[in-house]
Amino acid sequence: MKWDDYRQSDNLEDRRSGGGFAGMPGGRGGLGLGTMVVLGLIGYALGIDPRLLIGGAEMLQGARAPQQQTQAGGRPSDDMGRFVSVVLAQNEDVWAKVMPRDTNRAYEPPRLVLFRGVDRSGCGTAQAAMGPFYCPVDKRVYLDTSFFDEMKRKLGGGGDFAYAYVVAHEVGHHVQNLLGILPRVEQMKQRASERDANALSVRVELQADCFAGVWAFHIQQMGRLDQGDIEEAMNTASAIGDDKLQKAAQGYAVPDSFTHGSAEQRMRWFMSGFRSGTMKACDTFSTRSL
């Protein structure tokens, strides 16, 4: 992926303490994604709510959590920080054109917060163990970049475009929020059974994957993709499919408990957006079959 000659975003807050990263991917974090996944697998295998195991591990680790910066830092100078800032800028430029064209609505870019270990968000405590997430309350994406290291070492997904796909997926949730999709889905989930609420979550996540594909289409049109970039994104989408994680934990998958979609679904919906370049290809809520 070609990125080092592109502008950096002005909407990035660098709250990491203790200096930058040495290179890509890199960095230190709190309870890493790999640890979270392992605890999740143990929970599935033993019939224990994985959140209890993760919460306990976070409590034990709390005393060692890096201290956060309370004020946003300046523009990042380390490779990973600059990379994320550039990817955010690329999302800003793409969605500023695509969203008005496809929805007749203006695009308002989100803020992206880089943190290390523990931070605060409008949706509560942000921790490395949670992985990257979007908070609709404060319209910010939260990212501890140690996630990328864990993704490469523990989950089999890595490479600069794979990391860019993760950022684009979270920005996709921001697009959903601007369109009113997230609040409507949350209202529906409150009245739904656990099974139906999970199914709604899957549709939300697959649409964000598709929006990431729309972004990738336009980045390709700008001549910024290298050979193998899309394969990197597909490897990552496959690695974090619900079926892959559940089969690793218990030897079989339970589709009714999926919250993000299967590996095949995540890859297919990303490619739907990538092949079309339009938001119309991302209507995961009207189709009966995902």
Q: At what angle do helices 194-221 and 229-239 cross, to 10 degrees?
A: 170
CA proximity to 132, closest of 228, 208, 198, 74: 208
Instruction: Tell the residue number behind the tokens 């697009």, with chain if given.
Output: 175
Between CA 207 and CA 151 the distance in angstroms is 21
Q: Are 239 and 224 in contact (CB under 8 A)?
A: no
Q: Is the pLDDT of residue 233 over 50?
A: yes
* pLDDT tens column, 201-218: 999 999 999 999 999 999
CA proximity to 105, closest of 167, 168, 181: 181
* pLDDT tens column, 276-290: 999 999 999 999 888
Which helix (H) or strand (E) segment is 7 a member of?
A: none
Between CA 269 and CA 271 the distance in angstroms is 5
Mean pLDDT value across residues 64-77: 51
Q: Is the pLDDT of residue 172 over 80?
A: yes
Between CA 89 and CA 91 the distance in angstroms is 5
Beta pairing, strands 124-127 & 133-135? unpaired
* pLDDT tens column, 160-170: 999 999 999 99
| pTM, to two decimals | 0.80
CA distances for 108 relative to 134, 173, 201, angstroms: 15, 13, 24
Res. 45 pLDDT band, cuts 50 70 90: very low
Mean pLDDT value across residues 244-271: 88
